[in-house]
Amino acid sequence: MTNNVFSALGHPLRRSVMTLLRKGPRTSGELAEAFDASWPTVSRHLAVLKDADLITAERSGTSIIYRANTSVLEDAAAALLALVGKDNGDDDIKEAAE
């Protein structure tokens, strides 16, 4: 799951979408207007984020409302911090090498 999340966050437009959605839910139209990209391009990026479980989509009448899935973001942040944090497992690596 984490690799999929990091891969999805690899594109600047997708990171910008996540920044917007962290501020609150947005409709697909609001997201499309926020970027200088065609609707099909934005739609493909939304699909990648949704496949990585970073966002959820809910139909409301004729609109689709997207929300950030904060639990997945928190898990990804924790995994990243574990890689760069003070307790990064170096002792475990040294022990395994001995």
Using pLDDT thresholds of 50, 70 and 90, give the confidence band for residue 31: very high
Query: Which residue in the block uniquely carries the two structure tokens 């899935």?
Result: 69
Query: Which residue in the block uniquely carries the two structure tokens 């493909």?
Result: 44
Q: Which of 5-9, 19-23, 55-59, 71-75 has the lowest mean pLDDT?
A: 71-75
pLDDT digits (tens, 9 = 90+) for 36-91: 888 899 999 999 999 999 999 999 999 999 999 988 888 888 888 888 875 555 55
**Residue 10 tokens, joined:** 């690899």
Residue 39: its pLDDT value, please?
A: 86
Residue 59: its pLDDT value, please?
A: 94
Mapped to the 3 state alphabet, what secondary structure does the chain carry? Answer: CHHHHHHHCCCHHHHHHHHHHHCCCEEHHHHHHCCCCCHHHHHHHHHHHHHCCCEEEEEECCEEEEEECHHHHHHHHHHHHHHHCCCCCHHHHHHHHC
